[in-house]
């Protein structure tokens, strides 16, 4: 008898149902207009995601503050964006009303770009820094998150992912490195105050039990003082705080946790294992299982970092290709209680139609992400982002940038 493929079974998240167990992870692509509204390019990307029929689509990191942001053309969620965002949701739902549309709300903090915005920090980190945030400023940012959640709700989103990962402000406050003596630093109680109070307010003020509030969390950032490390000056892994965090979020109403790791500006290969160093993808399984075991069964655990497995043709050693694919690990991990759903990041740029194609048994028609990381190079350069392997305009754009930079280097040597 043929075994059931768990990837194509429904998943209950809060009061809603995801039609399958594949989510599109948040992927910022730097193509909004100058007010932070979606452009034609943004529409094109999401139209393809909605056609792909995944259970959940997470809208890329959308900033709650235009004053401090990491991307020049970053989507933003403020009252002035409401009309454009409402239209965006209704157009997407016309294409396919099944995927749950969750928006990732963010504040970039010390990752805000100084060329066009104000960089702020909770405690200067070597190589980053910025203006030191006061307690009043943090409280204003909490107001911005709550307002953004209400806007997302009123625009028709199914929920929000309050970003607590990858070194953005939500992570910066939680880190042991934030040992500054203030209301939001030092003790674990102080470092979780921002996340917990914002959650409590979002749940209370949105006041809709059907609205899904959850978070993407970096369980271990992998550098001294990062989230999940044993202290402010050590990188030694100690998951006590990270696991306490997800439990605290669940108690405050989180309906899902997207498990991630690393801080891409510092530990990129941990966040998104690449084809040269694919092995950390396994570490994510350990983190997903640890979160799953810490939570009550009703909170959905969504795992990241599956793209590098591809169709089994990858650089992972000591495994049979048929037991090393994204589909194999997704199915197995759900079956084994490691996670409830898998999220695809880079693979969603390479081929948004992956869920549909796999469900129809057309794995050989998928454009498999090569985990080359050329797309992140576009993001780092503040350009429109897309797949440089399968999407010609983006590969051409990258070639042009590299040519121009090569010419510039030539002039200076």
Ligand X SMILES: Cc1cc2nc3c(=O)[nH]c(=O)nc-3n(C[C@H](O)[C@H](O)[C@H](O)COP(=O)(O)O)c2cc1C
Residue numbers of the site for ligand SF4 (CB under 6 A)? 346, 349-350, 369-375, 387-389
With CB cut-offs between 5 and 8 Å by kind, which of ligand SF4, ligand X, none does residue 304 bind?
ligand X
Asked if residue 183 lies in contact with residue 177, where contact means CB atoms within 8 angstroms, the answer is no
Report the alpha-carbon distance of residue 316 to residue 275 in Å, rounded.
9
Asked if residue 164 lies in contact with residue 191, where contact means CB atoms within 8 angstroms, the answer is no
With CB cut-offs between 5 and 8 Å by kind, which of ligand X, ligand SF4, none does residue 104 bind?
ligand X
Residue 306 interacts with ligand X (CB under 6 A)?
Answer: yes
Between residue 137 and residue 176, which ones bind ligand X under the rule CB under 6 A? 165-166
Token digits for 39? Answer: 């452009």
Q: Where are the alpha helices (H) located in 156-256, listed in sequence order?
A: 169-174, 188-206, 240-251
Report the alpha-carbon distance of residue 31 to residue 94 in Å, rounded.
22
Report the alpha-carbon distance of residue 191 to residue 219 in Å, rounded.
15
Residue 326: φ, ψ to 5°? -60, -45
Per-residue mark of binding to ligand X, 43-62 (x: CB under 6 A)? -----------------xx-
Report the alpha-carbon distance of residue 361 to residue 51 in Å, rounded.
17
With CB cut-offs between 5 and 8 Å by kind, which of ligand SF4, ligand X, none does residue 27 bind?
ligand X
How many residues at the interface with ligand X, by CB under 6 A? 26
- Closest CB 339 distance from ligand SF4, rounded Å: 22
- Closest CB 249 distance from ligand X, rounded Å: 16
Token digits for 267? Answer: 């530990």
With CB cut-offs between 5 and 8 Å by kind, which of ligand SF4, ligand X, none does residue 370 bind?
ligand SF4
Q: Round the CA-based radius of gyration of the chain to a whole number and report it.
A: 20
Q: Which is nearer to ligand SF4, 254 or 375 (CB)?
A: 375
In terms of Cα–Cα distance, which of 29, 56, 53, 26 is closest to 43?
Answer: 29
Residue 304 interacts with ligand X (CB under 6 A)?
Answer: yes
Token digits for 247? Answer: 């439990």
Q: Which is nearer to ligand SF4, 123 or 284 (CB)?
A: 284
Q: Exactly one of 11, 26, 77, 219 binds ligand X (CB under 6 A); which one?
A: 26
With CB cut-offs between 5 and 8 Å by kind, which of ligand X, ligand SF4, none does residue 108 bind?
none
Interface with ligand X by CB under 6 A: which residues?
A: 25-28, 60-61, 104, 165-166, 216, 260, 271-272, 304-308, 344-347, 375-376, 379, 385
């Amino acid at each position: 008898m043929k075994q059931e493929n768990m990837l194509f079974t429904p998943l209950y998240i809060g009061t809603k149902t995801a039609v399958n167990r594949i989510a599109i992870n948040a992927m910022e692509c730097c193509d909004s207009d100058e007010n932070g509204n979606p452009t034609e390019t943004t529409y094109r990307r999401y139209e393809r995601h909605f056609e792909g029929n995944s259970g959940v689509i997470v809208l890329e990191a959308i900033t709650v503050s235009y004053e401090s942001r990491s991307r020049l053309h970053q989507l933003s969620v403020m009252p002035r964006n409401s009309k454009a965002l409402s239209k965006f949701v209704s157009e997407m739902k016309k294409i396919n009303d099944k995927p749950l549309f969750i928006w990732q709300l963010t504040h970039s903090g010390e990752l805000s770009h100084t060329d066009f915005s104000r960089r702020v920090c909770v405690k200067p980190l070597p190589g980053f820094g910025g203006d030191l945030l006061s307690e009043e400023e943090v409280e204003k940012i909490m107001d911005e998150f709550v307002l953004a959640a209400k806007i997302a709700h009123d625009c028709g989103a199914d929920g929000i992912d309050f970003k607590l990962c990858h070194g953005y402000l939500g992570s910066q406050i939680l880190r042991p490195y934030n040992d500054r003596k203030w209301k939001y630093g030092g003790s674990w109680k102080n470092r979780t105050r921002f996340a917990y109070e914002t959650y409590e307010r979002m749940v209370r003020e949105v006041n809709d039990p059907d609205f899904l509030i959850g978070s993407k969390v970096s369980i271990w950032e992998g550098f001294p003082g990062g989230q999940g490390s044993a202290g402010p000056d050590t990188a030694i892994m100690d998951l006590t705080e990270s696991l306490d965090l997800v439990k605290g979020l669940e108690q405050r109403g989180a309906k899902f946790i997207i498990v991630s790791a690393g801080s891409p500006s510092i530990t990129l290969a941990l966040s998104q294992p690449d084809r040269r160093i694919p092995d950390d993808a396994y570490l994510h399984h350990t983190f997903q299982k640890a979160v799953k075991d810490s939570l009550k069964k009703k909170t959905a655990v969504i795992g990241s970092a599956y793209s590098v497995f591809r169709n089994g043709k990858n650089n992972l050693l000591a495994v049979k290709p048929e037991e090393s694919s994204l589909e194999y690990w997704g199915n197995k991990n759900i079956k084994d209680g490691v996670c409830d759903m898998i999220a695809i990041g880079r693979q969603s740029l390479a081929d948004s139609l992956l869920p549909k194609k796999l469900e129809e048994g057309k794995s050989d028609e998928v454009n498999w992400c090569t985990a080359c990381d050329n797309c992140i190079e576009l993001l780092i350069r503040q350009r429109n982002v897309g797949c440089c392997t399968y999407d010609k305009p983006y590969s051409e754009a990258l070639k042009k940038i590299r040519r121009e930079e090569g010419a510039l280097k030539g002039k200076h040597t």
